[in-house]
Chain A
C-alpha cells in the first residue's frame, strides 16, 4: 500500500477527510460532553434530519478508538495550532527529513485501520450471537453497537426492503433504548408520499423532543443545501474525474479516495459544514492537479465498476485490478439514488421534499423489487460509461446479492460489457480467489 503514499501526502483534503473519520471519537466526546449535543446513530446516508435538528449524526464505527500511529496525534495538535494547510506543508517538511518510513506507516494506518476495525467489530457481532450466516455489514454494525452503543442518545432507523436490515434495526433497542423510526412505504402508489411525509414529520418531532430544538423549514433547507452541494461534488468526482483519461493520482489511490468517500458520506464525519469544505477542496485539488499535469495517464486502463461495497468488500480488490491494468470505480450511493438532490425551491415543503428523496431512493435505487434494482445498476453503469462490472456477492446478503443472475442477463443484453462476480465473506478471507477471478475477468479486455 505504501506505493500510494506519494499521492495521499499531496492531497490535503484526503488527509483531512481521513483524519476526521478516524478522529471521530475525540470529536464526538467533545460534542457530547462539552457542547451537550445529542449523538444519534445513522447507517446508510440518512443523516439530514439529524443535522437539521442540531444533533450529531454518527456512523457508529466512528466512536471507536482506532489504532492510529502516534504521529496522527501530533498531527492533530499541529492542526489545532496551524491549520490543515500548514499541516500538509508540515508533512512534506517531515518527509524531507527522511522519516518517510514513519509517514508511510501513518498513512497506511489511515487507509487500513478502518478495515481492521471493521473486522474486529464483525467478530464482536459474532461473539454477541449474530449468526455467521448474516452479511458482513449487518454483523459489523451490530458489533459497533455492542462496543459503543451506550454512548448514543438515540438511533434513527429507515425501513427498506431488506428484511435483515429491518430486523437488525429492531434489535438495536437493546443497545440504544430511544429509537426513531421512519417507515418508508415499500412502493410509490397513490398517496404513499403523503403518508411518508407524515412519518418524516413524526421522526422530526421525535428529534425535537430529544434535542430540545425546533426543526424549522429553514434548518431543513439549510441542511439540504449543504447536502446538495456535497452531492454535486461527489458526482463531479464520479462523472468528471473518474471518466477522465488523466487521473490526478494513481488509479488505486483514486479508488481508495472513493472508498473513503463512500464510508464517510454516511454521517458526513459528523460535521456537515466541515465535510462540505473538505469535499470542495478535494474537487479543487483534483482539478488543479489535472490541469497542471500532475498525476497519471490512465487512458489505456479500462474502468471497472465494482459494486456493491457498502455492506463490505475486499479492499484489496482495487489494488488487484490496478496491478492487472484497470481502474476501479466505487459508486454505490449513486446506484442506490442516494446522490439525488433534494429540492429547496422557494415554495416547496422541505419535509415533503425529503420524503420524495427517500421514496425515490428506496423504490428506484434500492428498488422495491429486483427489476428496479438491476435497472438502477444498468442506468448507472451506462451513465458512468464503464468498461466492465464486477459484482461483489456478499455472503448472507439476501437483498442485493440475489440479483446477480438477473443483472448478468441485463448487462449482456443492454450493455454488452464484461462482467464477473466475486464472493465476499470477511475482509482478508478470500483474497486469492478474488485474484483468480479478477485475473480471468481482465483477460476479457
Chain B
C-alpha cells in the first residue's frame, strides 16, 4: 500500500469514527503522550506524522519565522494551506499542546488559536528524577480530569488499564516487525501505519508478520549496506527512505519515535500485575524511557551507549559493521545541537556516522542523495 492509499484509508477510518460520535484529538507526536487515556475515554488520537514540503512550510510563515523546524512549519501548513492535502485534519476536535520541544508548544498553540481547535495541555518534566515522575503523574491526572470534563464521565481505572494492556500487546506485535527479514522501507510503512491506527489494526499486522515469516529471502545479502537510522523520525510521504534504498542502503533499525522508541516501551506482565493504578503504569513508562530525546541530562549518553552496543552485537551476529544515519530536521532543537558531539563520540568507538541535516524542500533532494551515496560507499 503506498502512502496515498494509506492516507485515503485513514481518512475513511476517521470519517467513520466521527460518524460514530467519536471526538478526535490531534497532537504533534512524541513518545510521552498517554494515548491510552484518550482511547479509554473514547477519543481517537490523530498523530501528526506527516512529512512536509515547500508549499506547507511557506504557508506557515505568517505564524512562524522560517528558522523554525521544518516539521513544525509543515504542521501549521497542513492546517493553513488550501486546498487541504489531508482533509481528515478538519475532523480534529482538539489539539493536544505538549512540550516535547518548544516548537511543539508554539505550533499547538497556533493551531488552537487560529484554526479553532480546543486545546488540551499536557506538559512533561524535563528530567526523570523522582520529583519529575511525581510531576508527570500530576499532569496525567490533570489531563484525565480535562478529558472527563469534556465527556462528563469519569474514566474508570479499569478502562485505562485495559487500554494500556491493549497497546502493550500491540507494541509487542509491532516489535516483531523489527526482527523480520524485510527491507527497511517495508518496516517503516508498518510502523507508520501502526502509529496512525494503533491496536485497531493488530490483526492486520499479525497477518503481515505471519506472511513475512515464511519469506526466507535474505534481505541482508541483497542490501549489504546495512545502517541504523536515528535522530528525527521519517514521516509519512517523505522521500528519504527511497533515497537511502536507491543508494544501496538498508535500514535494520529505526532508532526513532516511529520505530524502536514506540514499540520498545512495553511492560512485562509482572509490572502490569504489580501496579494497580493505571496512572502509575503510565508514569513507569516515562521513568523507563531513558532514550527519549525530551529529557535531560542523560538521554544523549544513553543513546550513544545503546547504539554502540547494538553495532557491536550486530557485528558479532552477522559479521557486518553497520553505520549510523543521524537524521536531523533543520532547526530541530533536540538533534541538531549536539550532532557533532554525537558523531564524534560514536566515531571514537569505531562507528561511522552520517549527520544528515535537511528540511523538506525539493531543492535539497539531490544534495541529500549525493551525501547518502557517498556514505554508503564508505561503509
Cβ-neighbour of A163 out of B67, B102, B125 (below 8 A) = B102
Interface residues of A in 175-224 (CB under 8 A from B): 179, 181, 183-187, 189-192, 195-196, 198-199, 202
Interface membership of B251, Cβ < 8 A? no
Measured in the bound complex, the distance between the Cα atoms of B67 and A396 in whole Å is 5
Interface membership of B81, Cβ < 8 A? no
A199 touching B297 by the CB < 8 A rule? no
A128 touching B126 by the CB < 8 A rule? no
Cβ-neighbour of A181 out of B109, B127, B338 (below 8 A) = B127
Interface membership of B131, Cβ < 8 A? yes
Measured in the bound complex, the distance between the Cα atoms of B125 and A368 in whole Å is 12
A185 touching B337 by the CB < 8 A rule? no
B102 touching A168 by the CB < 8 A rule? no
Measured in the bound complex, the distance between the Cα atoms of B68 and A168 in whole Å is 17
Interface residues of B in 107-143 (CB under 8 A from A): 109, 113, 121, 123-127, 129, 131-132, 134-135, 138-139, 141-142
* Contact A161/B138 with A181-B297, A186-B123, A369-B109 known, Cβ cut-off 8 Å: no
Measured in the bound complex, the distance between the Cα atoms of B14 and A2 in whole Å is 68
- When each residue 364-405 of chain A gets 1 if its CB lies under 8 Å from chain B and 0 otherwise, what string results? 000011110000000000000000000001011111011111
Min C-beta distance of A143 to chain B, whole Å: 14
A402 touching B135 by the CB < 8 A rule? no
Interface membership of B369, Cβ < 8 A? no
B97 touching A168 by the CB < 8 A rule? no
- When each residue 112-148 of chain A gets 1 if its CB lies under 8 Å from chain B and 0 otherwise, what string results? 0000000000000000111101100010000000000
> In the complex, which residue of chain A has the Cβ closest to the Cβ of B64?
A402
- When each residue 148-185 of chain B gets 1 if its CB lies under 8 Å from chain A and 0 otherwise, what string results? 00000000000000000000000000000000000000
How big is the A interface, by class?
35 or more
Cβ-neighbour of A169 out of B103, B109, B297, B331 (below 8 A) = B297
Measured in the bound complex, the distance between the Cα atoms of B298 and A171 in whole Å is 9
Min C-beta distance of A8 to chain B, whole Å: 36
B334 touching A167 by the CB < 8 A rule? yes
> In the complex, which residue of chain A has the Cβ closest to the Cβ of B338?
A171
Min C-beta distance of A361 to chain B, whole Å: 15
Interface residues of A in 392-430 (CB under 8 A from B): 393, 395-399, 401-406
Residues of chain B with a CB closer than 8 A to A395's CB? 67
Interface membership of B106, Cβ < 8 A? yes
Measured in the bound complex, the distance between the Cα atoms of B132 and A184 in whole Å is 9
Interface membership of B330, Cβ < 8 A? yes
B65 touching A402 by the CB < 8 A rule? yes
Residues of chain A with a CB closer than 8 A to B336's CB? 131, 133-134
Measured in the bound complex, the distance between the Cα atoms of B100 and A78 in whole Å is 54
Measured in the bound complex, the distance between the Cα atoms of B98 and A187 in whole Å is 12
Interface membership of A166, Cβ < 8 A? yes
B296 touching A169 by the CB < 8 A rule? yes
Interface membership of A436, Cβ < 8 A? no
Most buried by A among B121, B123, B138, B297: B297
* Contact A170/B299 with A163-B102, A187-B123, A402-B65 known, Cβ cut-off 8 Å: yes
Interface membership of B85, Cβ < 8 A? no
Cβ-neighbour of A130 out of B102, B105, B337, B357 (below 8 A) = B337
Number of A-B contacts (CB under 8 A): 140
Interface residues of B in 73-107 (CB under 8 A from A): 97, 99-103, 105-106
> In the complex, which residue of chain B has the Cβ closest to the Cβ of A162?
B102
> In the complex, which residue of chain A has the Cβ closest to the Cβ of B335?
A167
Measured in the bound complex, the distance between the Cα atoms of B112 and A406 in whole Å is 13
Min C-beta distance of A134 to chain B, whole Å: 6
Total interface residues on B, CB under 8 Å, equals 50
* Contact A398/B296 with A167-B338, A185-B135, A190-B138 known, Cβ cut-off 8 Å: no
B105 touching A161 by the CB < 8 A rule? yes
Cβ-neighbour of B131 out of A130, A138, A199, A405 (below 8 A) = A199
Residues of chain A with a CB closer than 8 A to B64's CB? 402, 405
Interface membership of A294, Cβ < 8 A? no
Measured in the bound complex, the distance between the Cα atoms of B109 and A234 in whole Å is 33
Min C-beta distance of A184 to chain B, whole Å: 8
Interface membership of A173, Cβ < 8 A? yes
A402 touching B340 by the CB < 8 A rule? no
Residues of chain A with a CB closer than 8 A to B337's CB? 130-131, 134, 138, 164, 167-168, 171
Interface membership of B341, Cβ < 8 A? yes
Min C-beta distance of A225 to chain B, whole Å: 28
Measured in the bound complex, the distance between the Cα atoms of B298 and A114 in whole Å is 33
Measured in the bound complex, the distance between the Cα atoms of B41 and A112 in whole Å is 60
Measured in the bound complex, the distance between the Cα atoms of B334 and A130 in whole Å is 12
A398 touching B102 by the CB < 8 A rule? yes
* Contact A398/B124 with A131-B357, A179-B297, A199-B131 known, Cβ cut-off 8 Å: no
Residues of chain B with a CB closer than 8 A to A398's CB? 67-69, 101-103, 106, 331, 333
Interface membership of A273, Cβ < 8 A? no
Interface residues of B in 338-375 (CB under 8 A from A): 338-341, 344, 357
Interface membership of B252, Cβ < 8 A? no
Interface residues of B in 199-214 (CB under 8 A from A): none
Measured in the bound complex, the distance between the Cα atoms of B337 and A396 in whole Å is 11
Most buried by A among B64, B138, B141, B337: B337
Measured in the bound complex, the distance between the Cα atoms of B334 and A179 in whole Å is 19
Measured in the bound complex, the distance between the Cα atoms of B135 and A159 in whole Å is 14
Interface membership of A348, Cβ < 8 A? no
Interface membership of B221, Cβ < 8 A? no
B102 touching A164 by the CB < 8 A rule? yes
Min C-beta distance of A13 to chain B, whole Å: 38
Residue numbers of A with Cβ under 8 A of B are 128-131, 133-134, 138, 157, 159, 161-164, 166-171, 173-174, 179, 181, 183-187, 189-192, 195-196, 198-199, 202, 368-371, 393, 395-399, 401-406
Given A168-B337, A403-B106, output 19 extra A-B contacts at Cβ < 8 Å.
A128-B340, A129-B340, A133-B336, A134-B337, A161-B102, A163-B333, A167-B296, A170-B296, A170-B338, A185-B125, A185-B135, A189-B139, A192-B135, A192-B138, A198-B131, A199-B129, A398-B103, A401-B65, A402-B64
Closest 7 pairs (CB-CB, A-B) = A129-B340, A186-B123, A159-B126, A163-B101, A163-B333, A164-B333, A195-B131
